[in-house]
């Protein structure tokens, strides 16, 4: 059995993914050409209606089988009616002809019903098989398309994350470079500040008979 166009389109998608180059950042991943992959997916989408038409043609053949069976039944009934008319025209065997006519009509009706039922069963089986096969093809194609889109989305997210990391690294390098280009500002910012000179206290005037010593200073000198 020759592969359908849907199967061929799916094989082309598989072959394309196998031939894609691995990603430099993630060796287990591959880099895909978005437009080329979309072209393959569009081709797969276009194949589906053609496959459906193909199986619709099979279903249409069912109507042909039913029409043929119906035509054969009508021919048999017509022949039975003609035979009945011929028999009834014979006056001498009217009763026998009548009975034979009923038998012929009954047999013709039973045979016609049998043919129609058989054709109906066969057409129903063909239609069911065609619908099941078409549903399987569409389910398989849908699964492959969803898997491909999921893989594309994951790769896009990883690429976005890698680009953000690259931008952050470039910003850090740029800031470091700017610090090197302005060493004077950097040195001025790093020079230690000179401590402020302590405030000089003015000497207290001393009297001739007595002088006052602060209590804290006295205690400090005593401890030393």
Long-range contact pairs involving 80-89 (C-beta distance under 8 Å, separation at least 24): 80/104, 80/105, 80/107, 80/108, 81/105
Q: What pLDDT digit, counting tens, does each position of 179-193 carry?
A: 888 765 555 555 555
Virtual torsion, Cα 61, 66, 72, 73, nearest 10 deg: 180
End-to-end CA distance of the chain: 112
**pLDDT tens per residue across span 196-221:** 554 444 444 444 444 444 445 444 44
6 close to 137: Cβ distance less than 8 angstroms: yes
Cβ contact 88:98 at 8 Å: yes
134: nearest Cα among 66, 64, 58: 58
123-157 tens-digit pLDDT: 888 888 888 888 888 888 888 788 888 888 888 88
pLDDT, one tens digit per residue, over 49-79 is: 766 667 677 777 777 777 888 888 888 888 8
Distance of alpha carbon 78 from alpha carbon 90, whole angstroms: 19
Task: Let me know if domain 5-182 sits in CATH 1.20.1050.
Answer: no
Question: What's the CA gap between 32 and 153, in Å, rounded?
Answer: 11
Phi, psi of 50 (to 5 degrees): -65, -40
Comparing 224 with 150, which gets the higher pLDDT?
150
pLDDT averaged over the chain?
75
Within 8 A by CB and 6+ apart from 83, the residues are 100, 101, 104
């Amino acid at each position: 059995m020759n592969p359908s166009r849907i199967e061929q389109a799916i094989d082309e998608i598989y072959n394309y993914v196998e031939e894609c180059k691995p990603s430099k950042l993630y060796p287990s991943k591959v880099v895909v050409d978005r437009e080329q992959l979309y072209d393959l997916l569009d081709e797969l989408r276009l194949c589906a209606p053609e496959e459906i038409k193909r199986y619709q043609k099979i279903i249409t053949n069912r109507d042909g089988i039913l029409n043929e069976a119906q035509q054969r039944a009508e021919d048999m009934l017509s022949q039975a009616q003609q035979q009945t008319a011929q028999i009834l025209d014979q006056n001498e065997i009217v009763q026998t002809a009548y009975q034979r006519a009923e038998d012929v009509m009954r047999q013709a009706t039973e045979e016609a019903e049998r043919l129609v039922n058989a054709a109906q069963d066969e057409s129903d089986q063909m239609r069911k098989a065609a619908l099941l096969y078409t549903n399987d093809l569409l389910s398989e194609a849908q699964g492959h398309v969803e898997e491909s889109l999921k893989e594309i989305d994951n790769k896009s997210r990883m690429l976005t994350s890698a680009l953000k990391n690259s931008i952050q690294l470039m910003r850090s390098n740029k800031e470091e470079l700017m610090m090197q280009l302005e060493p004077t500002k950097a040195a001025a910012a790093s020079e230690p500040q000179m401590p402020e000179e302590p405030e000089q206290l003015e000497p207290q005037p001393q009297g001739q008979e007595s002088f006052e010593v602060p209590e804290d200073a006295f205690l400090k000198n005593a401890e030393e």
